[in-house]
Amino acid sequence: MSSGVSGVFGRNAFNEATMRECLPKNVFQSLKRTLDGEQPLDPATADVIANAMKDWAIAKGATHFCHWFQPMTGLTAEKHDAFISPTKDGRTIMEFSGKELTQGEPDASSFPSGGLRATFEARGYTAWDCTSPVFVKEDGKNITLYIPSAFCSYTGEALDKKTPLLRSMDALSRQAVRVLKALGNGCTNVKRVIATMGPEQEYFLVDQSFCAKRLDLVLAGRTLFGAKPPRGQELEDHYFGSLHERIANFMNEVNHELWKLGVTAKTQHNEVAPAQYELAPVFSTVNVAADHNQLTMDTLQKVARRHGFVCLLHEKPFAGVNGSGKHNNWSMATDTGINLLDPGDTPHDNMVFLVMLCAVIRAVDQYAMLLRASVANAGNDHRLGANEAPPAIVSVFLGEQLTDIFEQLAKGSAKSSKRGGQLKLGVSTLPHLPKDSTDRNRTSPFAFTGNKFEFRMVGSSQSISGPSFTLNTIVAETLSEIADVLEKASDVPAAAQKILQDIATQHARIVFNGDNYSEEWAAEAARRGLPNIRAAVEALKTIPSPQNIALFTKHGVLSENELRARTEIFLEVYSRQINVEAQTMLTMARRQILPACCEYSARLGEAVTAVSGAGVKAEAQKAMLQKVCDLIATLQTRIEALEKARAGAAGTKGHERQAEAYRTDVVPAMQALRVVADELEVLMDARLWPLPTYAEMLFVR
Ligand code: ADP
Ligand code: MG
């Protein structure tokens, strides 16, 4: 075995190279045809593959296998079974059949189904997704063969995030191939179009010793109290700063763990907020990217523990500093290796590129609300529209060159492409740099970045599957509209030109290259009629609209029932999350903050008595005591108000109305309670304050 990274990379993944090595040639070829979507896997082939997988996994020390799937509630799920099979004479042999590989049947009754199945109909099935490599995972001494799987109900309805993603990939491929065939232009031999994805993952690392003392971090993954520290991110010295040694060691181990699993961890750096970091892989098929992103989140958290950290994946662990997102870089590639969003040197005469670009622009404009809803969760409510992340308004950044072409298209046809030229740095020893034809725009929610789009609204804790299947499906829809026209056209180039002109005219409003954080943009977007939905609940409610039901059913991605069920689950998850936060706040306020404040007021009272008793004026002490007592009274009132709001919301019937109650009653009551506690924190004797401070958590490494 070779040493170094290439020796480690993919060591624990049953990837194509390993399969080629381990499987008989005809079996491998048969599996390849399944992977290419040409034929289903036959049971005899599955048996041979399962056996080879088992031998490979056992050689790596594995004792168990599991179907690994992504239920509707954020996390991944797994149930382990040992390979052992007892023999009549009291021994055991290691067995793993094709059936065990391809199908599992976990008791599904405890997974949320959004009403798709009653608990007495507990059956659920997992099905092997052979397009995502099986892998061996080492958790302490436990070594297990993981089988990436889809999860559905007894009636075949999707209960997970992978199934619609796989369906959407098929839909996108179908429609894109139709368009390519109709256009001609050298792409007629394309059999499949693949959605590609490179998700950049942001996260925080906080020393474990602080986290252990904060119930909010333990239970809610974010701080629910905490005064602004004397120093925040204003010095802007963390972003891209040199890596602290302890962090570098952590990252090194994360990379090695991920490389072993075949995850292409590539880029790492300090992010904007202190204690915030980012990791990005090399892009892959969106389905594999989604699985690998789950593994990345899991690995970040696991390795953090080994290094005495806790990794926070919440969208907003700390108020007042940057939150964490996921930047989903997305494109479409042909099975012949062409990136369909690569503009080439002369985008104005690259018809395939222009059609694909315009299809995306139209999709984003028509389904802006749906895209917004696809990233809606309680955590993201703290980011979107809070002047640090993209706003809740969806718009597209095209940059100078493409905007110019888009404007030319609106007038009839595009005749030229603006060039980037060269950058001269004025130093003879530095190289001349070719200038990109387009600058970047960090504030845009949906930005064209050279040869892909970057969807930046996704929250750091979210699965990338939801936003990805949404994007795949809306683009499939506009491509299908385009294909419908092109397939019937007698003069295809003229018809294509007309389509581009129509899109450039009708959807100009979605293009915005300016500062998305500015108030002027919010006003301008309103004039353009672009939706601006700040709250997750409001966004989620719009999911089962007639337009969206028609979209998802037409492309076979989600049935109306599945879509409605999902929406119910999202709303329920929202309510539960806020409820946990509210209860955690109440516990901390009553059992930690209030007692500490009472203790402090008692000490101040003693100080007043002692000082006055000595015949000295104690006006300052008295004033402090008064202030602390007033704040304690307010704290007490707000605790009661929050409890009342929480109980009211908890008792509200119906997922939608309940989520609304949490949003309109509980969230503001939480905020009000926090404000007064934070005020007390800055007044109090530091020795009495029961919680680690923002300064400690953000700056001590
Ligand atoms: P930046 O956001 O700073 O431009 P990179 O250019 O390194 O960062 O790319 C960010 C992510 O985009 C990486 O994960 C990269 O692999 C991914 N990416 C690059 N090309 C594509 C593509 N054609 N499709 C999907 N993702 C891509
Ligand atoms: Mg980026």
Q: What per-residue confidence (pLDDT) applies to 525? A: 95
Instruction: Indicate whether residue 331 lines ligand 1 (CB < 6 A).
Output: yes
Could you tell me which of 226, 223, 217 has the C-alpha nearest to residue 677?
A: 226
**How many whole angstroms from 413 Cα to the centroid of ligand 2?**
31
Q: Indicate whether residue 449 lines ligand 1 (CB < 6 A).
A: yes
The answer on 549 and 511 residing in a single domain is yes
Whether residues 202 and 333 fall in one domain: yes
Mark whether 508 and 539 lie in a shared domain.
Answer: yes
Q: Note down the domain range covering 265.
A: 167-415+433-558
Q: Are strands 396-397 and 446-448 parallel, antiparallel or unpaired?
A: parallel
CA of 454 to the centre of ligand 2 (A): 7
8-state DSSP, 162: H
Which residues touch 146 (CB under 8 Å, ≥6 apart)? Answer: 65, 66, 68, 78, 134, 135, 136, 137
Place of tokens 């949003």: 663
Residue 616's Cβ-count burial label (10 Å; 0-12, 13-18, 19+) is exposed
In a domain? residue 425: no
Q: Which atom of ligand 1 is nearest to the CA of 339?
A: 23
- Please report whether residue 147 resides in a domain: yes
Measured from the CB, is residue 196 less than 6 Å from ligand 1? Answer: yes
Give yes or no for residue 329 CB within 6 A of ligand 1: yes
Residue 410 sits in a domain whose CATH number is 3.30.590.10
Final residue of a domain: which of 497, 529, 558?
558
Q: Do 649 and 683 fall into the same domain? A: yes
Ligand 1 atom showing the smallest separation from residue 333 Cα: 23
Q: Give me the average pLDDT of each 10-residue run along the chain (701 residues).
A: 79 93 94 87 93 96 96 87 92 92 81 69 86 94 96 89 97 97 87 97 97 97 94 76 90 96 93 92 97 97 97 96 95 96 90 96 98 96 80 92 93 84 70 71 91 96 97 98 97 95 97 92 95 94 97 98 95 97 98 98 97 95 97 98 98 97 98 98 96 94 78
Extract the tokens encoding 501: 């002109």
Ligand of minimum distance to the alpha carbon of 450: 1
User: Are 320 and 330 contacting, i.e. CB atoms less than 8 angstroms apart?
Assistant: no
Residues 127 and 251 in one domain: no
- The SS3 call for residue 441 is coil
How would you classify residue 275: left for phi > 0, otherwise alpha for psi between -120 and 50, otherwise beta?
Answer: left
Residue 335 lies in a domain: yes
Residue 564 maps to a domain: no
Q: Provide the domain count of the chain.
A: 3
- pLDDT of res. 431: 75
444 close to ligand 1 (CB < 6 Angstrom): no
Pocket of ligand 1 contains residue 27 by CB under 6 Å: no
The residue to which tokens 């101040």 are assigned: 604
Is 286 a domain residue?
yes
Residue found under tokens 């892009």 = 283
CB 452 near ligand 1, within 6 Å: yes
524 and 581 housed in the same domain? no
Across 129-275, the runs of DSSP E, i.e. the strands, are 134-139, 142-153, 193-207, 265-270
Ligand 1 near 542 CB (within 6 A): no
- Around 37, how many Cα atoms within 13 Å sit in the side-chain half-sphere? 12
Q: Are residues 471 and 382 in the same domain?
A: yes
Give the CATH number of the domain where residue 84 resides.
Answer: 3.10.20.70
Q: Tell me how long the chain is.
A: 701
Distance CA 273, CA 239 (A): 7
Q: Using CA atoms in the order 387, 392, 395, 396, what is the torsion angle rounded to 10 degrees?
A: 70
Query: Can you state the angle between helices 667-683 and 560-588, rounded to 10 degrees?
Result: 30
Same-domain pairing of 528 and 645: no
Task: Note the pLDDT of residue 1.
Answer: 47
- Which of 471, 516, 508 minimizes the C-alpha distance to 371? 471
106 CB near ligand 1 (under 6 Å): no
198 lines ligand 1 (CB under 6 A): yes
Q: Which amino acid is at 219?
A: L
Query: Which of 193, 201, 279, 283 has the most ligand 1 atoms within 8 A of CB, as the residue to mutate?
Result: 283
- Cβ atoms within 10 Å of 510's Cβ, excluding its own: 22
Would you state the pLDDT for residue 387? 65
Provide the token pair at 209: 């010793």
Question: Residue 304 and residue 313: Cα distance in Å, rounded?
Answer: 12
Max Cα separation, the chain?
103
User: Is 422 within a domain?
Assistant: no
- Residue 270 Cβ < 6 Å to ligand 1: no
CA distance 170 to 476: 9
Same domain, 283 and 302: yes
Residue 197 CA, closest ligand 1 atom number:
25
Q: Is 330 in the pocket of ligand 1 (CB under 6 A)?
A: yes
* The pLDDT of residue 633: 98
Domain boundary among 160, 191, 215: 160
Q: How many angstroms separate the alpha carbon of residue 198 from the centre of ligand 1? A: 6
Contact between 152 and 160 (Cβ < 8 Å): yes
**Co-location of 505 and 651 in the same domain:** no
Final residue of a structural domain among 160, 193, 217: 160
* Together in a domain, 198 and 338: yes
372 domain residue, yes or no = yes
Is the residue at 221 inside a domain? Answer: yes
* Centre of ligand 1 from the C-alpha of residue 558, in Å: 28
Q: Output the CA–CA distances (angstroms, integers) from residue 665 to 256, 540, 642, 672, in the order listed.
A: 46, 18, 8, 11
- For residues 110 and 94, membership in a common domain is answered with yes
Q: Which amino acid is at 510?
A: I
pLDDT of residue 123: 78
Q: Which atom of ligand 1 is nearest to the CA of 267?
A: 7
Which of 224, 368, 248 lies closest to 670, judged by CA? 224
Q: State the ligand closest to the CA atom of 452.
A: 1
